[in-house]
Amino acid sequence: MKNLQVIDGVDNCAFDVFAATEKEFTLLFPDGRDIEFIADFVARVGEKVAGDVTKAIWNRLQDKKKINGIHGTLFYELDAKKRFYPTRKESEMIANP
């Protein structure tokens, strides 16, 4: 299992961390990526697959104090941040695009 943090555009976002199976994680973050935007994920895999994956993941909320690392970040309603992550890899983030 791999952990992913969800960052939502709402003011009361809790920055929750969820566990994903290897298959779910690879669907969300293909090609070594570790950043994804939900709209892009849905566009890439379709609403049915995206719904199935996220529904399963939401059942695996993790205690942030007990996890061993965060392997990916999934953004909701924050498309303005795409310009900072053109390669969808955190290590290649552009701070001042």
For the chain, which residues make up each domain, given as ranges? 2-92
Question: What per-residue confidence (pLDDT) applies to 13?
Answer: 86
Amino acid at 88: R
Question: What per-residue confidence (pLDDT) applies to 10?
Answer: 87
State the pLDDT confidence band at 29, using cuts at 50, 70 and 90.
Answer: very high
Cα 71 from Cα 54, distance rounded (Å): 16
**Backbone φ and ψ of 91, nearest 5°:** -65, -15
User: Is-contact 88 35, C-beta < 8 A?
Assistant: yes
- What does DSSP assign to residue 7? E
Q: Tell me the pairing of strands 61-62 and 17-20.
A: antiparallel
Cα 76 from Cα 65, distance rounded (Å): 23
Question: What per-residue confidence (pLDDT) applies to 89?
Answer: 97
In 1-45, alpha helices (H):
22-28, 38-45
**For the segment 13-26, what is each residue's pLDDT rounded down to a tens digit?**
899 999 999 999 99
Identify the three-state secondary structure at position 8: strand
Question: What per-residue confidence (pLDDT) applies to 12?
Answer: 87
Cα 1 from Cα 30, distance rounded (Å): 15
**For the segment 30-80, what is each residue's pLDDT rounded down to a tens digit?**
999 999 999 999 999 999 999 999 999 999 999 999 999 999 999 999 999
Asked if pLDDT for residue 97 goes beyond 80, the answer is no
Question: What per-residue confidence (pLDDT) applies to 11?
Answer: 86
